Amino acid sequence: MYSEKVMEHFNNPHNVGVIEDADGVGEVGNPVCGDVMKITIKVDDDRLTDIKFQTLGCGAAIATSSIITEMARGKTLEDAARITKQEVADELGGLPPAKMHCSVLATDGLKVAIDDYLTQHGREPLGEPLISSDPNFDPHAETHDDACDL
Amino acid sequence: MYSEKVMEHFNNPHNVGVIEDADGVGEVGNPVCGDVMKITIKVDDDRLTDIKFQTLGCGAAIATSSIITEMARGKTLEDAARITKQEVADELGGLPPAKMHCSVLATDGLKVAIDDYLTQHGREPLGEPLISSDPNFDPHAETHDDACDL
Amino acid sequence: MMHRMDRSVYMDYAATTPVDPRVTDAMLPYLTEHFGNPNSLYTLGRDAYRALESARESIAAGVGAQPQELVFTGCGTESDNSALIGISQMAAERKSRRHIVVSAFEHHAVLHPAEWLAKNGFDLTIVSPRADGVVHPGDLRAALRDDTALVSVMAANNEIGTIQPLAELAEAAHERGALFHTDAVQALGKIPFDVSEVGVDAASFSAHKIYGPKGAGVLYLKKGTPFRPLLMGGGQEFKKRSGTQNVAGAVAFAKALELMLAEQADEAERLSALRDRVVGGVLDGIANTRLNGTGPKLPGYANLIMLGCEGESMLLQLDSKGIAVSTGSACSSGSLEPSHVLLAIGCPAEEAHGSLRVTLGRFTTDEDVDRFLEVLPPIVERLRSMNPLYERMYGA
Amino acid sequence: MMHRMDRSVYMDYAATTPVDPRVTDAMLPYLTEHFGNPNSLYTLGRDAYRALESARESIAAGVGAQPQELVFTGCGTESDNSALIGISQMAAERKSRRHIVVSAFEHHAVLHPAEWLAKNGFDLTIVSPRADGVVHPGDLRAALRDDTALVSVMAANNEIGTIQPLAELAEAAHERGALFHTDAVQALGKIPFDVSEVGVDAASFSAHKIYGPKGAGVLYLKKGTPFRPLLMGGGQEFKKRSGTQNVAGAVAFAKALELMLAEQADEAERLSALRDRVVGGVLDGIANTRLNGTGPKLPGYANLIMLGCEGESMLLQLDSKGIAVSTGSACSSGSLEPSHVLLAIGCPAEEAHGSLRVTLGRFTTDEDVDRFLEVLPPIVERLRSMNPLYERMYGA
Ligand SMILES: Cc1ncc(COP(=O)(O)O)c(C=O)c1O
Ligand SMILES: Cc1ncc(COP(=O)(O)O)c(C=O)c1O
């Protein structure tokens, strides 16, 4: 089902953890839907110098979390926020169609963390504001039909 | 499907043939329906002293023809005409349900031959008159649903 | 005790076939070691899934389809029922087309669902094949309507072996916006058959006619064909057929088809020659015999009429000599009407009762044909001598 | 390269089972030598027919039915679909009853046909099981109507293993003149099950859950039960299910059931003990875990919740250590809703995502359980350490 690269990142995820003195924090997802991601970032000169994540979720959720930390590190905030779910999936050698929504979790989480940093510094957020702590927030709602509707 | 006794009579039918100077002749069935039986009898003192048959038909048609010649030989005309299709089937160790109609061919054939003898001798026939040469005659019509309705 | 021959001669390959040892070898591991459920996520399940999908790819390549266009089913009958009912009902719902057309000599697995549809909101037109055993495209055209949802004509007939002009028939259906299904259960593997070349929208296949196991079918559904599943549940087979897939059966099907295709050309030649010997031997050696269906035929198929004999009797007598064939006589089926196929091509009932279907296959040898031609004439002669009408009807 | 264990531990017997070597031995001859079509009249066909019928008799004896009450089908799903649709539609036609009742935690092979019927002229009532994992007869009674045609409640649930009070449920249905079907796919052979004792009108079975092959099912239809066939065609199986019978599959089913019954008592004891070790080991050894369903259960079945873990992750991690289990987490199925079974018994979605179904069977050993209990805790710990909410939600 999963590509080798997905399994690699799932079995040995990179950059797991929490940056204690993070410059930005993003938390998306919902345990009712079965996946939650928290991402913490360090920013220097508008570049991501460090990223760590924690994820509750399936193999794809963990693997996409892991890979996006690799993809984003070293990028400017703007470039990092522009990483698409398709790029995340491609970088992993593809995801099963039913799992594409998991890469949204990763890209959304990163965007929320970046916007958190920007708003903390009184700057305009890059994306639409995502309210990560809303229990009814559903990152999947747009991306497929049978959304989590409990 | 067939009992051993049916197969025995089918493989080695008894009394096959035509009695040239027969006292009575019966012919029933219809090639359109796939089975035709001709039975010839010798009668002495209202007893069947000889019976022969010819049958076009399936295994059960041939076996029931064969066994009825054995069952009827030596019987009075009245007793012979009273042999039922169930008795024929029982004597053969049973018939598959779909094949029960074949034993009607045998009992009907015998009755027609006996009635032929009786009417030739100016006596009352025993059964209802059966018109054996009518191409629309259907010996099965009463006995089951999916009758030959070509 | 019955007298039995040591050597048995199987000549009913159209009814079913032995599983080829190479097929058994291919499927066995999927019963035992690789027994996982292909819908399970762990390694054992993924191994089964891969086997299932590579079987699908292999069959797809063999019939000119895309893998996702193939649905594994439980038998040819299920494929036929699913196609007839699933496509017609969905086409009716989506396009308000409520008319279907099938040929008169379809297998009952097509005819009965068609008749059921006719009792459940559809109009049904039945097109007769001609005496040659072929459904003529002009006859189909005449049956089509603007609201025809589905046409179903078999690729080759199971009793007389005649091959149908599928490409023209499918084109005729498409001209009127109707979909086209073919029951290719008998044709598969025996003659070239490519769904995209002939342009059908759906096709049914069954493993046990091509040296695979019983209980394994395939339904080809061209991408985009309207369809509702007959079996609903776990959503397997792209939601088109629920039920845990018979992985071993799918693997067996793929292997069986692979072998059929690899040997197709050689077998076609070999079996045609053997069939010609059977037909020649019967027609030349026994009076009052004839062959049914003059159209092109599947290799190894012959449907012969022995006038003045009844089919079941011949069949049983042949069986007692170790030879297995079948008949279109009614008596063999427990009904009284002889084969609807023979009647459909205009064979009179009294003649249809005397039909023998002889179908040769992979393990048929020259000696088998010799034996058949040696054993049959005395049986026919004996049965005719017991037939009170023979001289009258067919005597010289 | 993935690091893999030499020894693999299969603990997903509810998903499917390996074919027992004794079953393979029994079925193989019916693929090869005795390959005849059971509907053929000659010796080879009659041999197949006899094998089919003696399989039918043996299964009938095993479930307390008459042989003619059993129909061989292509899978458990087909049995379920045939029962739901075939009985309901015929009962509606004959008695104008147009209401059906099913439990909320039925397999989708029952739920989906029920929902389909609800879109095609029937009223559908869904009865919830209680938190104990049992459908209470009083709850069923409240759902019944005077026009209820059919009730379907499974004999034992496939995810939590809870056994249902079938006799009382069937009685409740019968009191209101409704027919009663049970999906006994999971229960068959594992606990005593006799159709006439429990008094059901129809029951579904599947071979691949009892060490038989995939793609072989049985439908019990009590004599006289209104029914229309789902598969129409050659009229096999007493006209109740057309399609050339899978003789090898039927023989395998009979052998598999025979073995289940012979070993039932011993296995029940052995598997219950092993299951208790699994459950005890998990509940005692890992914090924030619990067991689903308090009702009586099939031997060897355990559905455990590991709070703060997601099922698919656990499953894949266990798989990488060679252990096969399943989960009711949505992510494993490609949908987002976790198991409808767990939701039906009141398990909150966020907990259901952390479920592991562990089902033991014939080849499970003590060492397998040891290995599972050794491997699981560090996996749970690691996943919890990666869960950003774990401390907040479940921390001490
Ligand atoms: C309770 C239950 N019913 C029905 C089925 C379907 O059986 P099959 O996979 O043979 O179609 C299963 C298993 O998949 C099951 O567990
Ligand atoms: C033309 C044709 N269609 C359908 C079938 C049914 O296939 P199955 O026996 O696999 O159900 C058969 C054979 O029985 C057949 O010959």
Does one domain contain both C169 and C112?
A: yes
- Residue B106 backbone phi and psi in degrees, to 5: -65, -50
Task: Tell me the DSSP string of C233-302.
Answer: SS-TTTTTS-S---HHHHHHHHHHHHHHHHHHHHHHHHHHHHHHHHHHHHHHHSSSEEES--S-B-TTEE
Q: Collapse the DSSP code of C307 into the 3-class scheme (helix H, G, I; strand E, B; otherwise coil) and give the result.
A: coil
**Nearest partner of A58 among D137, D367, D336, judged by Cα:** D336
Q: How confident is the model at residue D331 (pLDDT cuts 50, 70, 90)?
A: low
> What are chain B's partners, defined as 3 or more CB pairs within 8 angstroms?
C, D
Q: Which residue of A has its CA nearest to D380?
A: A56
Residue among C21, C77, C244 minimizing CB distance to D75? C244
Does one domain contain both D230 and D86?
A: yes
CA of D304 to the centre of ligand 1 (A): 21
Residue D11 lies in a domain: no
Does one domain contain both D156 and D131?
A: yes
Does one domain contain both D229 and D280?
A: no
Residue C333 has pLDDT above 70, yes or no: no
Does one domain contain both D155 and D236?
A: yes
CA of C17 to the centre of ligand 2 (A): 12
Average pLDDT, chain D: 95
- Kindly report the length of chain A: 150
State what percent of residues in chain C have pLDDT above 90.
94
D86-to-B65, D232, D233 alpha-carbon distances in Å:
42, 12, 15
Tokens of C30: 């999927």
Distance CA C296, CA C190 (A): 13
pLDDT computed for residue C337 by the predictor: 79
Distance CA A131, CA A128 (A): 10
Among D259, D281, D307, where does a domain finish?
D259
Q: Which residues contact A57 (CB under 8 A, 6 or more apart)?
A: A29, A34, A35, A36, A37, A65, A102, A105, D310, D313, D331
Residues at CB less than 6 angstroms from ligand 1: C 243-244; D 75-77, 80, 107, 109, 154, 158, 183, 185-186, 206, 208, 217
**Nearest partner of C204 among C235, C158, C162, C248, judged by Cα:** C158
Q: How confident is the model at residue A141 (pLDDT cuts 50, 70, 90)?
A: very low
Residue D46 lies in a domain: yes
Residue D18 has pLDDT above 80, yes or no: yes
Q: What is the DSSP letter of A76?
A: B
Pairing of strands B24-30, B35-44: antiparallel
Are C286 and C380 within 8 A, CB to CB?
A: yes
CATH of the domain at D94: 3.40.640.10
Name the packing angle between helices D311-320 and A59-72 (round to 10°).
Answer: 90
Residue C288 lies in a domain: yes
Are C87 and C202 within 8 A, CB to CB?
A: yes
Tokens of D161: 């293993």
Give, for D284, the enclosing helix (H) or strand (E).
helix D247-285
Mutation probe of ligand 1 site: the residue of D206, D339, D341 with most atoms within 8 A of C-beta = D206
- Residue D355 backbone phi and psi in degrees, to 5: -90, 145
Q: How confident is the model at residue B127 (pLDDT cuts 50, 70, 90)?
A: confident
Distance CA A27, CA D289 (A): 25
Which residue range is the domain that position D292 belongs to?
A: 264-394
Q: Which residues contact C122 (CB under 8 A, 6 or more apart)?
A: C88, C92, C98, C99, C100, C149
Does one domain contain both C41 and C182?
A: yes
Does one domain contain both C310 and C284?
A: yes
- Which class does domain A4-124 fall in? alpha beta
Residue D335 lies in a domain: yes
Segment C51-66 shows an average pLDDT of 98
Residues at CB less than 6 angstroms from ligand 2: C 75-77, 80, 107, 109, 154, 158, 183, 185-186, 206, 208, 217; D 243-244
Amino acid at D55: A
Tens of pLDDT, residues C3-34 = 444 579 999 999 999 999 999 999 999 999 99
Distance CA D246, CA D236 (A): 11
Are C75 and C49 within 8 A, CB to CB?
A: no
Q: Which residues contact D278 (CB under 8 A, 6 or more apart)?
A: D302, D358, D360, D369, D372, D373
Distance CA C82, CA C240 (A): 9
Residue D5 lies in a domain: no
Task: Tell me the DSSP string of D194-221.
Answer: -HHHHT-SEEEEEGGGTTS-SS-EEEEE
Residue D9 has pLDDT above 90, yes or no: yes
Among C211, C241, C259, where does a domain finish?
C259
Q: How confident is the model at residue A102 (pLDDT cuts 50, 70, 90)?
A: confident
Among C241, C259, C277, where does a domain finish?
C259
pTM of the model: 0.94
Residue D39 lies in a domain: yes
Q: Collapse the DSSP code of B53 into the 3-class scheme (helix H, G, I; strand E, B; otherwise coil) and give the result.
A: strand
Instruction: Give how many domains chain C has, as a whole number.
Output: 2
Task: Judge whether D309 is closer than 8 Å to chain A, CB to CB.
Answer: yes
pLDDT computed for residue B136 by the predictor: 43
pLDDT computed for residue D6 by the predictor: 52
Q: Which residues contact C28 (CB under 8 A, 6 or more apart)?
A: C248, D24
Does one domain contain both C200 and C235?
A: yes
Does one domain contain both C311 and C331?
A: yes
Does one domain contain both D290 and D315?
A: yes
Residue D371 lies in a domain: yes
Are D105 and D183 within 8 A, CB to CB?
A: no
Residue D188 lies in a domain: yes
> What would you report as the CA-atom Rg of chain D, rounded to the nearest whole angstrom?
22
Tens of pLDDT, residues C192-210 = 999 999 999 999 999 999 9
Say whether the B–A interface has 3 or more Cβ pairs within 8 Å: no
Cross-chain Cβ contact D388/A147 below 8 Å? no
Q: What is the DSSP letter of C87?
A: I
Residue D280 has pLDDT above 60, yes or no: yes
Query: Where do the domains of chain A lie?
Result: 4-124
Residue B145 has pLDDT above 60, yes or no: no
Segment C252-261 shows an average pLDDT of 98
